[in-house]
Structure 1
């Protein structure tokens, strides 16, 4: 998988279908020479002349550098920027050594794609004579087209230095027309794809909120203009990080440079002599068969090599849950909750989740965050009493927490006001009437961990929803000197990772679902700890078509928290047919977000076939390959997709929305993908069953339902005969 040609000084990393190549030039600079279709084993030198031989002085500004730094006449955006004790901000990085190792590298304190005995790693060491060593780490997984990258930066000098920029990876492309796809949005409208040709100069998405945020996701695609779902070249990039990030595509005469890593805003990390800094991991996939194949490779890699066990295994069932939030909000007592649990049991739901409002004095969003003790006015027997009664009904019990937050009106704040992020001599900004705890401090992490342990040890809690409902502000830590305040943002993220590490190691069978005001922290760093993330606070089926489509460009459906909710939808006011709402929820983790006590017995009985269908086909939904058949348009009026098992034996097909309906008596058809053309499949929609060949299904397709004025929503299950 990793080969080194010592004579030509060429490194070639190969996956089943792709190759990534670098070489060192005569001056010891590490150049990026190729990332694309798999190269022959003879390892040809794919380096291209990028500068006129008659003008060597302009070469640094045109060379495809693997990890560029300032001060070397390369005036494009840089990957690393050290500030030495004399005020110099420059680094001339040259090759020092390399090693090829079995297995996957790891990064101290950071999530990353996991160890795999079949993987292989490469470490290339670069150095700057002034005192900076850069270890560039690469890993190749043989079962998917994934290549990961990271860097470890070490001060080898005799005086402290400050890192002003620390990117995870850089990719230089030769001049060619390319387009950039990012997934962007707002609260309740996260991860909507945006695609545009690259223009000259820098195009950057990022976040300085302390979390990735609703506006941009730490992922992007560069593709050729002709790229579609099924054809064309696409290079996908993901960042395994949950804090401030920057992703930049710079286009100039030398080509295109793609750079991703920690956002440089308010980042200044001091390294004493001998100290090192690990940069978050980046992951890359190349596809020459369009966006669909790129997505499928990312999905496979995330499922197999990022999610934690037992939840990484598609055969491990995920519980069908009901969350109390939209049914009760803050207004409930124990009897109200038990009524909801009984209705959920009648619908054959597995898990009851108590959302916000369960802890002392919490009747609105203005109090009590940080006081993780049950409110006796609502729960007279505490969490153990409620949990036992829910278990007696026949459901498992889950709970909502917001561990990173603290209310000014809370016992924790009255005891430890210094635990909140706050700037001295300035008024602390309250967002949603709450502050943020300073998770850059180990004693704060320890304090919250003690509270969470007490809660989780009090009764058998099977599921925990970890929420984070605001951006960071007043980013100043009382535990650090003024010269090191530029470390707080990153140290905060390390504190979150440390707490989630303790949580998942102490309770390995706990199903953890991350959330951040909906989908504001949907990234691979969080997925390392929690196998599912609440996709959006917007559960409207029509809106979810776009949200889940954009999310699915990078992340598999088994990671998307998705619930069937009431109509009119609490977020949009839209009314969607039950089957449309079911289709969107079934594509994700599948749960319910509504007041089932208002349902009649007949209506409750109408839910059970979908729950049974999910249980029967859950492994397919969690582990199959996604094929997007009809992408949602700007108005979110229609979409269709399917999931196919790796062996092509079975598939599930979903079609939702009015845009799929015919007109003038014409009955449109949905052409399928990913099947075996040479075999026959039984096709059932729950009412009717027919047999069709894979060839017919992939040429003529399935007839779509929908009379005039009716929204066609349909779910099919296919199985090889």
Structure 2
């Protein structure tokens, strides 16, 4: 048996590459010696036939196609008018590429070619898998299913960690014991969705943040998708991820090709935080554009929750004055600056500056903002249109839908068919004109509804084409305006994945600025996303979504652990609260490089606490955030261990947030260790193994500790 073995980040992938045999992964997980060969792996795993099943053992393939004969999960389902459905793909050619191989496979009878590109990063151990399907026949090929790959997982990974949620409460985690049969998550919303993030973790039941084996998988695709974990009757476990197609959506003409979205997958033997660190390093190195690595992420001020649609030039100038005075570096003008857009019922799609609101155009405001030393940003929602708009009145046929059914009402807007070239051209021309004619360096790109009926004017499904058109439009704009940064927003975190992140620079993690909910949301997002791409804003004292009232110290302390921003009416804040906010901005800036380049660790805490830290790559310093979510059952707060430090180094420990902290009674760790003053020098292993008892204090606040090697 011919094999290729890839090594990276302490893990190995062994590929079956024998010409004339199905492509397969024989091993993915702990590092193996180079001498390991396929025959040895087969002997060690002991696969064989048995009573009540086929006389020969049917080995898996990456495609899990029908012709294989393994009655389990399906990866590729294609046919020509009901025929040519039984492909059995075998390897034709193997070629080396950087950190991996390309395996070209085919079925000579059904005339379908399938190529896999598999790479394993030598540092992070993150595996990237892409696939391409080609119609080599003489008739059209209908593709019903095309999972990028179906990957084997060791059977002792007994737990599943999935991600669900809703609008304003994304990235909620569900951990359950894997079961016989199929665990299935899908999104048919035309975006990754609030409730079906395309990422999953499989781990041992004893795995936690600090120890144990774990496999993480993510599909870098911003549209409809399917993710399934299959536990077969013989005990084998497989995970398949791929784009999800509608009926008749993918029909390949002779010679045409279909590229599947990339699977990003990693293995760790050192717990969930280590797994996340691998994904974060991968995002920084391979997903984000390199230009951003050198530039500090500016502190934002976004106007939305301060003004909503009520744009007033003098008030906006006053916001800019107060924002600049406390250290804000970027001013983002949100919805309401264009056309007839005075509320959410009209104007969407008419991307021209409103003469009613800005009679002299946007230049006076932009000049004022940039004159204060801040960058200027602006909001767009290009994929949508209001029925009450000049664009819709001129081109009602440009929207997605079905002629024989009513549109599903959703925020007074419809979805433009951007897969039509004239629609994409119109959007490019309008956005390009705004960016070309104004000193704007940032675009917040929003998408505020699901795609309920993704049908074009011919009645064909266009969900997949819509995502490809979005990618093409963003690529075109980035080429035309390479210095402009883009943010992916979709009613908050409904479009957050490595596919969109490869074309944008930041994700809006959630529409909720409630700091308690944000702690949970940001904690969940951190499993796959580094802090520097996670937009986190200080909202108003009373959150308009939850109705909850929280202190400035809690709100600001939560927002500074991310890509920090503000989204509140600065004219209504007291001088005392403005002073606290300014302190938070200064603290964030002083540790911004650490937060946005370090290794994230999530701390083991009780259910009433959320703890995470960021440790410098050289372990010279770290910042730890402990959020007290609610009142504790026990009188004393638990002891917290600060993970990730060099056990043999000495560190000075200080409490740096909130300002003017005072515990409820004397003799807490803060007082006895002088953590508000000179701090306490402690050995790294004391902080990691013993930890410190948290001070007794009120709930709904966040404590931030800084440690620095001495």
TM-score for both structures, normalised by structure 1: 0.91
Instruction: Give CA-to-partner distance per residue, 1:216-265, whole Å, 9 cap, x none.
Output: 10110111212111222111001111000000011122311210001144
Query: Could you tell me which residue of structure 1 aligns to residue 660 of structure 2?
Result: none
Query: Could you tell me which residue of structure 2 aligns to residue 227 of structure 1?
Result: 207
Distance 1:233 1:704, change over 3 A: same
1:76 CA displacement: 1.3
Partner secondary structure for residue 382 of structure 1: coil
CA distance in 1, matches of 2:563, 2:625: 15
Alignment of 1:600-611 (within 5 A): 600-611=574-585
**2:557 matches 1:577:** no
Q: Is the 8 A contact 1:97 1:126 kept in 2?
A: no
Query: Could you tell me which residue of structure 1 aligns to residue 618 of structure 2?
Result: 647
Query: Could you tell me which residue of structure 2 aligns to residue 706 of structure 1?
Result: 696
Partner secondary structure for residue 408 of structure 2: coil
Instruction: Give CA-to-partner distance per residue, 1:661-703, whole Å, 9 cap, x none.
Output: 6954x46432111111111112232342322221221122234
Query: Could you tell me which residue of structure 1 aligns to residue 350 of structure 2?
Result: 371
1:659 CA displacement: 5.2
Query: Could you tell me which residue of structure 1 aligns to residue 71 of structure 2?
Result: 75
Query: Could you tell me which residue of structure 2 aligns to residue 669 of structure 1?
Result: 639
Distance 1:267 1:385, change over 3 A: farther
Instruction: Give CA-to-partner distance per residue, 1:123-162, whole Å, 9 cap, x none.
Output: 3434342110100111122221111001111111222211
1:594 CA displacement: 0.5
Partner secondary structure for residue 562 of structure 1: strand
1:24 CA displacement: 5.0
CA distance in 2, matches of 1:370, 1:627: 43
Alignment of 1:236-635 (within 5 A): 236-254=216-234, 255-266=236-247, 268-311=249-292, 313=293, 315-478=294-457, 485-486=460-461, 488-630=462-604, 633=607
Q: 1:678 aligns with which of 648, 654, 659?
A: 648
Q: Is the 8 A contact 1:407 1:434 kept in 2?
A: yes
Distance 1:397 1:227, change over 3 A: same
CA distance in 1, matches of 2:244, 2:629: 42
1:505 CA displacement: 2.0
1:97 CA displacement: 1.4
1:63 CA displacement: 2.1
CA distance in 2, matches of 1:58, 1:359: 69
CA distance in 2, matches of 1:98, 1:55: 37
Partner secondary structure for residue 406 of structure 2: coil
CA distance in 1, matches of 2:53, 2:694: 63
Instruction: Give CA-to-partner distance per residue, 1:144-195, whole Å, 9 cap, x none.
Output: 1111001111111222211111111111235446221111011111110101
CA distance in 1, matches of 2:249, 2:630: 51
Partner secondary structure for residue 242 of structure 2: strand
Distance 1:453 1:58, change over 3 A: farther
Partner secondary structure for residue 563 of structure 2: coil
Q: Is the 8 A contact 1:643 1:652 kept in 2?
A: yes
**2:26 matches 1:37:** no
1:458 CA displacement: 1.8
Query: Could you tell me which residue of structure 2 aligns to residue 106 of structure 1?
Result: none
Distance 1:632 1:262, change over 3 A: farther
Query: Could you tell me which residue of structure 2 aligns to residue 718 of structure 1?
Result: 707
Q: 1:91 aligns with which of 75, 81, 87?
A: 87
1:426 CA displacement: 3.5
1:278 CA displacement: 0.7
Query: Could you tell me which residue of structure 2 aligns to residue 66 of structure 1?
Result: 62
Size of the alignment, in residue pairs? 685
Query: Could you tell me which residue of structure 2 aligns to residue 116 of structure 1?
Result: none
Distance 1:688 1:578, change over 3 A: farther
CA distance in 1, matches of 2:687, 2:443: 42
**2:620 matches 1:638:** no
Partner secondary structure for residue 63 of structure 1: coil
Instruction: Give CA-to-partner distance per residue, 1:63-110, whole Å, 9 cap, x none.
Output: 2322211144222121111112453422111121111123xxxxxxxx
Q: Which moved more, 1:14-23 or 1:600-609?
A: 600-609
Q: Is the 8 A contact 1:563 1:591 kept in 2?
A: yes
CA distance in 1, matches of 2:319, 2:256: 55
Q: Is the 8 A contact 1:560 1:588 kept in 2?
A: yes
Distance 1:651 1:662, change over 3 A: farther
Q: Is the 8 A contact 1:169 1:261 kept in 2?
A: yes
RMSD between aligned residues:
2.1
Instruction: Give CA-to-partner distance per residue, 1:293-332, whole Å, 9 cap, x none.
Output: 1111011101111011322x1x421111111111111123
1:54 CA displacement: 8.5
Partner secondary structure for residue 197 of structure 2: strand
Alignment of 1:136-175 (within 5 A): 136-173=116-153, 175=155
CA distance in 2, matches of 1:344, 1:662: 40
Partner secondary structure for residue 368 of structure 1: coil
1:14 CA displacement: 1.4
1:432 CA displacement: 0.8
CA distance in 1, matches of 2:695, 2:383: 47
**2:680 matches 1:694:** no
CA distance in 2, matches of 1:16, 1:214: 32
Q: Which moved more, 1:638-647 or 1:16-25?
A: 16-25
Partner secondary structure for residue 619 of structure 2: coil
CA distance in 2, matches of 1:580, 1:465: 26
Distance 1:309 1:29, change over 3 A: closer
CA distance in 2, matches of 1:58, 1:252: 17
Q: Which moved more, 1:569-578 or 1:523-532?
A: 569-578
**2:9 matches 1:16:** yes
CA distance in 2, matches of 1:261, 1:11: 24
Q: Is the 8 A contact 2:17 2:23 kept in 1?
A: yes
Distance 1:76 1:345, change over 3 A: same
1:631 CA displacement: 5.4
CA distance in 1, matches of 2:310, 2:143: 49
Q: Which moved more, 1:73-82 or 1:265-274?
A: 265-274
1:419 CA displacement: 1.0
Query: Could you tell me which residue of structure 2 aligns to residue 115 of structure 1?
Result: none
Structure 2: runs of 5 or more not aligned: 657-675
CA distance in 2, matches of 1:173, 1:129: 31
Q: Is the 8 A contact 1:705 1:713 kept in 2?
A: no
**2:39 matches 1:50:** no
Distance 1:223 1:469, change over 3 A: same
Partner secondary structure for residue 66 of structure 2: coil
Q: Is the 8 A contact 2:652 2:682 kept in 1?
A: yes
Q: Which moved more, 1:122-131 or 1:256-265?
A: 122-131
CA distance in 2, matches of 1:620, 1:133: 47
